[in-house]
Amino acid sequence: MSTISIVDSSLDSVSISATAPRNHSPYAIRVRHLWHRFGAFDVLRDVTFDVEHGQIFGFIGPNGAGKTTTIRIIATLLEPMAGRVEVDGYDVAVDSESVRAIIGYMPDHAGVYERVTVREYLEFFADAYQIPHLGVVETVMELTDLEKLQDKLVVEMSKGMKQRLQLARVLLHDPKILVLDEPASDLDPRARIEMRDLLLELRALGKTIFLSSHILTELADVCTSVAILERGALVVAGPIAGIAEQLERRRYAMAYGHHAAEDRPAQLPSSPQGQPQQASATGVEAPGGQSAVQPAVTPGGVPVPGSARKRLKLRVLTDANQAAQLLWGGPGILEVEVHASGNLLVGYQGSDALIADLVRHLVTHGVAVVGVEPERSELERIFLEVTQGEVQ
Amino acid sequence: MSAQTGTPSFVPSPPSSRAVDLARTSLRRVRNNPNPIWIRELRQAARLGRTPIILMTITALVALLMTAIGGIMSVAASPSTIGITLFHTFFSLAFFVVTLLGPALAANSVASEREGRTWEAVILTGLPPKTIARGKFLSAFTNISMYIVMLAPVGALSFLFGGVTALEVVVAFFFLFLFALLGVAFGLAISSALASGRTAILLSLLLAFPLTLVAYLGLGVGLSVAANDAWPAVIGGAPVWLPTAYERAPFSLEYITFLVVIPIAGLTVPAWFFYEITVANLTSLTDDRATGLKRWYVVMVPLLTAAIVIPVVTLGNGKPSGSIMVGVSILFSFVVFAFFVFQGDAIGPSRRVLVHWERKKASQLTRFMGPGLVKTISLVFVLGSVGILVLAVAGVAVSLLSPHVTDRQLEAERVVAFVEYAATYLLFLGGFAAWIRTKASTSGVARVLLLVAIFLSAAGPWIVAAIAGVISEGSDEALIVAAPSPFFAFVLVGMLDKAQRGLATIVGVICSSAWALIGLGLFAAASVRAKRIIHEHFAMLSESEKMLAQEDEELQRMDLQQQNLDSAPENALVGQGESGA
């Protein structure tokens, strides 16, 4: 790494070094050993993660976990007390002007000028960014589907439209990286779907999107990688599939008495936040409405940790109780429950191949399976498994 | 180019040194690249329905008042008297309108953006704080100018009656714009420091009201008496005397000093200060917020010193020590004010500032004028002391050389005694200001503690003297108990022609020396502490940098190992192929 050393005579020969800006960093955002403190309270503690170019990166955590502080540091609005944050190779603490030129930051609950029209609002920011093309406002309005509203006063717009306007604002200077803090908060379902589609469109245009939210289903649909923050510390970071795989290996290691440390991903915490749960007796709705108890154990008789069990939602057209009877006692099946809606909830342990076997088994026996989906998304499962639900 | 106004890109003209060309280029730049904040705020203001109603109401009320006064007076007074009365009434009212409305309008600008959470979006566009400050200023100034323009026809009524000339009315309007400029700059400076629009408006009005009243009574009514003494054509006791003086006073050195130099300085000093304060408040904490304000201070001290020295030297005065004491007190107060202002300076330059200096190969002067508490307070003290010393030299010279002075020795001694006490106490205050800032958690706390220190050291000895009951004895010697107070300098000066001068001088010297020693000690302590804080901060950063560099090396090593592992099978295959061949 190229650095420049500084020796300032007025500082009695104190020497520091600053990373010289790099134009082609392999990472869009690099957060390394980031610490921040408000008063005597550590808001961020040794947070480290990387965001690669072209990703939609989800930044997850409960309220008060330190998400907004991290984002404000990335956006150059706060200086980190220790550690380093680089955006496309530029140190946010040193080259804030360069960082501002390549990021588009949309804060949580940001305000808008209300007594201007949509067009006037965007024209102002186009001038403020000193964009040398008069057509940029039209382009951005077209991209964000605001053309029809261009003469509407901002004060008369819905929350969803205002949020869309904010997104249009941050796109004016064609930033490489978008930093969006809770972009879908307070939005109605339609606006959320539209926002999600817009983010996917932006990703297709080559933008890197760093997105914070605590609505996991929203992130699960769009994110390729995530970082989960709890009480100011990073719990886990990486591609969703990679984290899920690592957690799966850890679950098995715990279940069969192996040491998880060998299989732990680089950014997985050394002590798991979700301690192995005690095997619990699970109530299973027996066919005919009788209740049966089936212990959650592995084939070797070892109790299965709660985190290792997965649940599947099956929608069938035929008799659900008949389907439940067909599944009950099968290999890897831990529990079967007939839901009041007529759906089947199947607790199982194993890989996706088991699901395929399970569906084939049902179809072979004349059960019309019309839907198979996990009860919780992968991201929700990860979140629940690695966090303790504590707030600071 | 401006998307808001649709003007094309500004193409600079070929370089030219002609003033006309330069002015034309500047005008084109403003027209083609207008301040974006100014244009946006004008657009917003145009949609605000209440503005024309307020404008109409104020104009109608003032017009009614003026016609009522004119109507009542026309029964008994001559037209010229009515004209003069209307002139003073209108411009007095207009003065209060612009000096109260100006700050209130400007106070809402930055604070309301922070409150409405639009501020961060503006900052992140990369607009420099100076551009933002100018845009906000232009916007508020345009608003207040509309009020003045709306009132203009009513104000012109006075000159129709006679008693005042058209030029006097025009100059009075010109001064209204200048007062509006100051009012807006003042409101903006307050707004830049606050996060709530309502608080900013309230605070600016709370401060503007007494200041406006003092300015009106002191600089208006009060100074008109002195102006009348100097130039009898100027009406004494009339508040709006300054616009009339330009036409009525004969052209002389006094004219230039009192009607040109001092008004320009009186406008420039605060306006520049408010601008720099606004820019500093809009600048990030880790950027250089000190240079602009320090530049202002460096220019202001010599200007202020000159503004005090010139009248003392030019005007024949039998007791120059009195003028010098007033002058030193003004300069002293200015330097103490600067101590309060510069308490907001950073203890040392941030990493960002240091890196920028390094990249730009900044000169030693640039670095000296940058952030750094101890050097800033030292600069404030040294420059202030030099100014006081200049006043002392001028005072002694006038005392010894002026034909108007009768007791030359005594006058010179008075000047020396007063200046010596003032300078040493200033050293104490400077040392304390630097030291307390290195101890306090925030600049606000440091300012409060500095204020407490000034109060205790200035009033404390008098309180002790009062409690002891010595003041009631009526003896001048008893006042020596209060010698540690800086106000004792005035007592000391008064005692120099009395029998107790020996004792008073000794006590005065002891006390002032004590202040100087304490001040030096505090400066040294502040310097040591500031260096330690800076060193610890950068040592921590350095440690962090080392750790990150080690991590980078480790990652590079692992990458290299991985590459070797990846290429190993290929090499093996290549090897097999070669051996096979």
pLDDT at A340: 76
Interchain proximity B120–A77, CB inside 8 Å: yes
Across the range A266-283, mean pLDDT stands at: 36
Q: Which value does ipTM take for this structure?
A: 0.83
Q: Confidence class of residue B445 from pLDDT cuts 50, 70 and 90? A: very high
Tokens of B228: 């009348």
Block residue for tokens 């690592």 = A246
* CA atoms B335, B339, B344, B349: torsion sign: positive
CB distance from A36 to chain B under 8 Å? no
Interface with B, mutate which of A14, A180, A267 (most B CBs under 10 A) = A14
Q: Confidence class of residue A296 from pLDDT cuts 50, 70 and 90? A: very low
DSSP B287: S
Across the range B433-455, mean pLDDT stands at: 94
Q: Confidence class of residue B217 from pLDDT cuts 50, 70 and 90? A: very high
pLDDT at B269: 86
pLDDT at B154 over 60: yes
pLDDT at B270: 92
Identity of the amino acid at A155: V
Q: Confidence class of residue B456 from pLDDT cuts 50, 70 and 90? A: very high
pLDDT at A275: 35
What's chain B's average pLDDT? 88
- Residues A163 and A196 sit within 8 Å (Cβ to Cβ): no
pLDDT at A259 over 70: no
pLDDT at A310 over 80: no
Among A192, A225, A227, which Cα is nearest to A208's? A225
Cα separations in angstroms, B145 against B101, B142, B172, B269, B273: 11, 5, 14, 22, 22
pLDDT at A246: 77
Q: Which of these ranges, A130-144, A170-184, A365-379, B438-452, has the smallest mean pLDDT? A: A365-379
In three-state secondary structure terms, A103 is strand
Interchain proximity B117–A110, CB inside 8 Å: yes
The alpha-carbon gap from A11 to the nearest alpha carbon of chain B, in Å, equals 7
pLDDT at A24: 64
pLDDT at A282: 30
Q: Confidence class of residue A109 from pLDDT cuts 50, 70 and 90? A: confident
**What does the DSSP assignment read for B26-38?**
HHHHHHHS--HHH
Q: Confidence class of residue A289 from pLDDT cuts 50, 70 and 90? A: very low
Q: Which of these ranges, A72-81, B28-37, B560-569, has the smallest mean pLDDT? A: B560-569
- Residues B497 and B404 sit within 8 Å (Cβ to Cβ): no
pLDDT at B401 over 70: yes
Q: Confidence class of residue A243 from pLDDT cuts 50, 70 and 90? A: confident
pLDDT at A377: 67
Tell me the CA end-to-end span of chain A in Å, nearest whole number.
36
Q: Which of these ranges, A33-37, A92-96, A301-305, B237-241, has the smallest mean pLDDT? A: A301-305
Among B288, B289, B286, B265, which Cα is nearest to B276's? B289
pLDDT at A19: 57
Across the range B48-64, mean pLDDT stands at: 87
pLDDT at B161: 85
pLDDT at B237: 83
CB distance from B555 to chain A under 8 Å? no
Interchain proximity B1–A137, CB inside 8 Å: no
- Residues A128 and B48 sit within 8 Å (Cβ to Cβ): no
**What does the DSSP assignment read for B424-488?**
HHHHHHHHHHHHHHHHSSSHHHHHHHHHHHHHHHHHHHHHHHHHHT-GGGT-TGGGGGGTTSTTH
Per the model's pLDDT, the better-predicted residue between B195 and B496 turns out to be B195
pLDDT at A288: 35
Across the range B360-388, mean pLDDT stands at: 94
Across the range B85-111, mean pLDDT stands at: 91
Q: Confidence class of residue B399 from pLDDT cuts 50, 70 and 90? A: confident
In three-state secondary structure terms, A226 is strand
Among B109, B138, B1, B5, which Cα is nearest to A120's? B5
Which of the residue ranges A75-89, A271-285, B238-252, B515-529 has the most confident prediction, judged by mean pLDDT? B515-529
Rounded CA separation B309/B305 (Å): 6
The alpha-carbon gap from B2 to the nearest alpha carbon of chain A, in Å, equals 6
pLDDT at A219: 79
pLDDT at B544: 82
CB distance from B542 to chain A under 8 Å? yes
CB distance from A62 to chain B under 8 Å? no
Identity of the amino acid at B494: G
* CA atoms B413, B419, B423, B425: torsion sign: positive
pLDDT at B558 over 50: yes
Q: Which of B 56-75 lie inside 8 A of A, CB atoms?
A: none
pLDDT at B65 over 60: yes
Q: Which stretch of DSSP H or E encloses residue A29?
A: strand A27-38
Q: Which stretch of DSSP H or E encloses residue B504?
A: helix B501-580
Beta strands in B219-264 (DSSP E): none
Scanning B162-222, the segments in alpha helix (DSSP H) are: 166-193, 197-214
Q: Which of A 332-391 lie inside 8 A of B, CB atoms?
A: none
Tokens of B119: 């501020």
pLDDT at B470: 60
Per the model's pLDDT, the better-predicted residue between B1 and B278 turns out to be B278
**What does the DSSP assignment read for B535-566?**
HHHHHHHHHHHHHHHHHHHHHHHHHHHHHHHH
pTM (two decimals): 0.81
Residues 6 or more apart in contact with residue B43 via CB below 8 angstroms: A115, A116, A120, B4
pLDDT at A85: 93
Among A390, A379, A388, A384, which Cα is nearest to A59's? A379
pLDDT at B182: 95
Q: Confidence class of residue A62 from pLDDT cuts 50, 70 and 90? A: confident
Identity of the amino acid at A43: V
Residues 6 or more apart in contact with residue B414 via CB below 8 angstroms: B321, B325, B493, B496
CB distance from A33 to chain B under 8 Å? yes
Rounded CA separation A159/A157 (Å): 7
pLDDT at B573 over 70: no
Q: Confidence class of residue A343 from pLDDT cuts 50, 70 and 90? A: confident
Rounded CA separation B236/B254 (Å): 18
* Chain A residue with minimum CA distance to B356: A94
What's chain A's average pLDDT? 78
Residues 6 or more apart in contact with residue B98 via CB below 8 angstroms: B144, B147, B148, B176, B179, B180, B183
pLDDT at A283: 30
Contacts of A199-202 with CB under 8 Å at 24 or more apart are A199/A56, A200/A56, A201/A143, A202/A171, A202/A178
pLDDT at A261: 42
Q: Which of B 26-45 lie inside 8 A of A, CB atoms?
A: 36-37, 39-40, 43-44
Rounded CA separation A27/A88 (Å): 6
Q: Confidence class of residue A303 from pLDDT cuts 50, 70 and 90? A: very low
Give the model confidence (pLDDT) of B284-332 as tens digits: 888 999 999 999 999 999 988 988 888 778 776 778 888 899 999 999 9
Contacts of A6 in chain B (CB under 8 A): 354-355, 358
Rounded CA separation B121/B137 (Å): 19
User: Per-residue b/e over A289-320, b at no fewer than 16 CB within 10 Å?
Assistant: eeeeebebebeeeebbbbbbbbebbbbbeeeb
pLDDT at B233 over 60: yes
Helix/strand/coil (H, E, C) string of A239-287? EHHHHHHHHHHHHHHHHCCCCHHHHCCCCCCCCCCCCCCCCCEEEEECH
Which of the residue ranges A264-268, B298-302, B501-505 has the most confident prediction, judged by mean pLDDT? B298-302
pLDDT at A39 over 80: no
pLDDT at A2 over 90: no
Contacts of A37 in chain B (CB under 8 A): none
Q: How many C-beta atoms surround the C-beta of residue A354 within 10 A?
A: 18
Q: Give the number of C-alpha atoms closer than 13 A to the C-alpha of residue A138, restricted to the C-beta side.
A: 3
Per the model's pLDDT, the better-predicted residue between A380 and A266 turns out to be A380
pLDDT at A286 over 70: no
Rounded CA separation A309/A296 (Å): 9
What does DSSP say about strands A225-230 and A56-60: parallel, antiparallel, or unpaired? parallel
Among A270, A309, A274, which Cα is nearest to A388's? A274
Per the model's pLDDT, the better-predicted residue between A73 and B9 turns out to be A73
pLDDT at B498: 75
Residues 6 or more apart in contact with residue B286 via CB below 8 angstroms: A79, A93, B350, B351, B352, B353
